[in-house]
Amino acid sequence: MSQDESTTVTNEDLSPAPVGGVLCAGYGSRLAPLTDVLPKPLMPFLNTPMVAYALNHLVGAGVEQVGINLHHLPDAIPPVVDRLCANFGLRPRYVREWEILGTAGGVRGIWQGLGEPETTLIVLNGDSIMNIDLAARLQAHRQSGALASMVVRPRASDQPGRVWLNEAQELRGLRDARHPDAASESLREYDFTGVHFLEPELLRRIPLEEGCMVGDVYIPMLERGERINALINDDFWAALDNPRLFFETTRRVLREPGLFAQAPLPEALGESLYIYNQDTIDDKAQLAGPLLAGLHASVDSGARVGPEVVLDGVEITGGARISQSILYGMGRVEGDWERVMAVAGKVVSFSLDD
């Protein structure tokens, strides 16, 4: 995985250095029952835990300390994040929520867990992927003088939107709420990417209790006429909210790897065949790309795998047929598997808008 290379960051450029936060406490209910055994931030996207992409972005913005909030399956996350942070040169701090605090209380808890530093807190979700130059966005946030900046993107058909900007690209609406000056303005709808830049003056105002950043913090600010800065990022972004979106995003990137700058894919063999360990793939197996097989995936003679398949932690037996599926940690796999996502013994089927 590579960091964004479009901006070179030093601590002197961004003094004082920002701190980071990744929201990892949620239940991931739209990915259940998969998230009954694995918290959503650890769900592998292209064989890499989703939280790794957020951590990698933070490194690119000069972050050295990162707070992680925990609630659902809390003991599963630190062992993985500790290793990732060691690789990235980050110092993690874990904040356990005995009662889930939502995004607002979660953000305040992360800042408090980091020692309430007098610097910008950059917050990302642990369950979305994107191309973003956080260093450039941090600079733009700080130059704006705003207490908060939300990173938004042009609305996609499968996302809720409900973020409204005027022609000057100023934030004027959230959900059904409007800024007092918005009545006479022409507004365009955007999506919120889940990326925030927050200053201590605002963080101190957020109570350490259950709450929503948009509903309980930003909307009251907006209605009072306070400024919330908007930063537009029109590059690749995807929220992996359910098995269908997870699979559709996977196959988009497998078909066009350049779409996602952080895609950790090996060099392709043949027609979009991404195979980490060729020694575990029998020469008489029938493969159809796009296909990604991890280090711990084996395919026996006579098996048919692909197209649009991602595998790791599996042994595909002879005679098995796998297509349009994502299989992780399923051990020995027999029979026919189509349009399923399976993780550690849990299986869910999905339909596609073909």
Domain boundaries, the chain: 11-239, 244-349
Beta strand 321-323 pairing with 304-305: parallel
Count of beta carbons in the 10 Å neighbourhood of residue 118? 9
Q: In this model, does residue 173 exceed pLDDT 60?
A: yes
pLDDT digits (tens, 9 = 90+) for 268-287: 998 899 999 999 999 999 99
Count of beta carbons in the 10 Å neighbourhood of residue 279? 7
Helices 77-88 and 50-60 pack at an angle, to 10 degrees, of 30
Q: What confidence score (pLDDT) does residue 6 get? A: 45
Q: Please, are residues 270 and 289 in contact by the beta-carbon 8 Å criterion? A: yes
Residue with tokens 């007098």: 118
Nearest-CA neighbor of 62 among 116, 113, 20, 125?
A: 20
pLDDT digits (tens, 9 = 90+) for 206-243: 999 999 999 999 999 999 999 999 999 999 999 898 99
336: confidence class by pLDDT, cuts 50, 70, 90: very high
Query: Residue 198 and residue 142: Cα distance in Å, rounded?
Result: 10
Query: Residue 100 and residue 125: Cα distance in Å, rounded?
Result: 15
Mean pLDDT on 165-175 = 91
Classified by CATH at the fold level, domain 11-239 comes out as Spore Coat Polysaccharide Biosynthesis Protein SpsA; Chain A (3.90.550)
* The pair of three-digit structure tokens given for residue 335, joined into one six-digit string: 């029979």
Does residue 126 or residue 138 have the better pLDDT?
Answer: 138
* The pair of three-digit structure tokens given for residue 1, joined into one six-digit string: 């995985």
